[in-house]
C-alpha cells in the first residue's frame, strides 16, 4: 500500500469537490481546478474527506495511487490557501518590473526580457534599497506556478563562482573556489 496514497485528504470549509467520470473538480475561494484521473485509481468522498484507492495491485496502479493523491491534495490546498514563491535577482543592474500580466526583466543582456503570464498568476516585483530585487509569484495552481518559476529562473540560473543569477529566497548555493594565482 502506498504510504502517501492511503492518507485521507480533509476538505476545508468553503471548498467543494466533485467526482464525475474520472474527473475531479475542486472549487474554492481562490479559483477552480480540475484533474483527469486514470482508470487504475478510484476517488471517493466520505465524511468530508477524500479517499484515493487503486483498482488492483499492478505496477501502474501502484504508481498512480500516490501521484493522484498528491495532485488532489495540492488542488485542495491551492483553492483554499494558494501557493507563493519568492525569487531574488542577484547581480549588478538586475531589475524586475511588472506591467499588468507582463514581467520585464533586465538581467545583464543587451535587451530586456518580456514574459507574458497566464491570468491565474499574480506577480509582484519589489526593488529593495541597498538590496537585491525580489519577485513574488502567487497562484492557486501549483503545477502552473512551478512552470512559471522554472521559466523565470532559466533566463539567468545562479552561477557557482560569484552567485549571480536568479535564485529562490533563502536558497543556499554551493560556491566554487576560483582560480588561484600561479607560481
Beta bridge partners of 115: 103
pLDDT confidence of residue 183: 58
pLDDT confidence of residue 182: 59
pLDDT confidence of residue 51: 93
pLDDT confidence of residue 179: 83
Same structural domain, 93 and 164: yes
Same structural domain, 39 and 73: yes
Same structural domain, 160 and 88: yes
Please, what is the Cα angle at 172 between 168 and 175, to 5 degrees? Answer: 120
pLDDT confidence of residue 21: 87
Helix (H) / strand (E) element for 64: namely helix 59-80
Residue 3 lies in a domain: no
Same structural domain, 109 and 143: yes
Residue 105 lies in domain: 83-168
φ, ψ dihedrals at 146, nearest 5°: -65, -40
Strand order across the 49-54 sheet: 9-10, 49-54, 41-46
Same structural domain, 122 and 152: yes
**Residue at which a domain ends, from 36, 56, 80:** 80
How does strand 165-168 pair with strand 134-139?
A: unpaired
Q: What CATH number does residue 99 fall under?
A: 3.90.930.12
Same structural domain, 121 and 158: yes
Local mean pLDDT, 10-residue blocks, the chain (183 residues): 83 92 92 93 92 90 91 95 95 93 94 95 91 95 96 94 92 86 60
Residue 50 lies in a domain: yes
Residue 1 lies in a domain: no
pLDDT confidence of residue 100: 92
Tell me the whole-structure pTM to 2 decimals.
Answer: 0.88
pLDDT confidence of residue 117: 95
Helix axes 59-80, 142-154, angle to 10 degrees: 90
Amino acid at each position: 500500500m502506498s504510504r502517501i496514497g492511503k492518507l485521507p485528504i480533509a476538505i476545508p470549509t468553503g471548498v467543494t469537490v466533485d467526482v464525475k467520470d474520472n474527473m475531479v473538480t475542486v472549487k474554492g475561494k481562490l479559483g477552480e481546478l480540475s484533474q483527469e484521473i486514470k482508470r487504475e485509481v478510484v476517488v471517493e468522498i466520505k465524511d468530508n474527506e477524500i479517499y484515493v484507492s487503486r483498482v488492483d495491485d499492478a505496477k501502474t496502479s501502484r504508481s498512480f495511487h500516490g501521484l493522484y493523491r498528491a495532485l488532489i491534495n495540492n488542488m485542495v490546498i491551492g483553492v483554499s490557501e494558494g501557493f507563493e514563491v519568492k525569487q531574488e535577482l542577484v547581480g549588478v543592474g538586475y531589475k524586475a518590473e511588472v506591467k499588468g500580466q507582463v514581467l520585464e526583466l533586465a538581467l545583464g543582456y543587451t535587451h530586456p526580457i518580456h514574459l507574458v503570464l497566464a491570468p491565474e498568476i499574480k506577480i509582484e516585483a519589489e526593488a529593495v534599497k541597498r538590496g537585491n530585487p525580489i519577485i513574488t509569484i502567487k497562484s492557486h495552481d501549483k503545477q502552473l506556478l512551478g512552470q512559471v518559476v522554472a521559466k523565470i529562473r532559466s533566463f539567468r540560473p545562479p552561477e557557482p563562482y560569484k552567485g549571480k543569477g536568479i535564485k529562490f529566497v533563502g536558497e543556499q548555493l554551493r560556491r566554487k573556489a576560483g582560480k588561484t594565482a600561479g607560481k
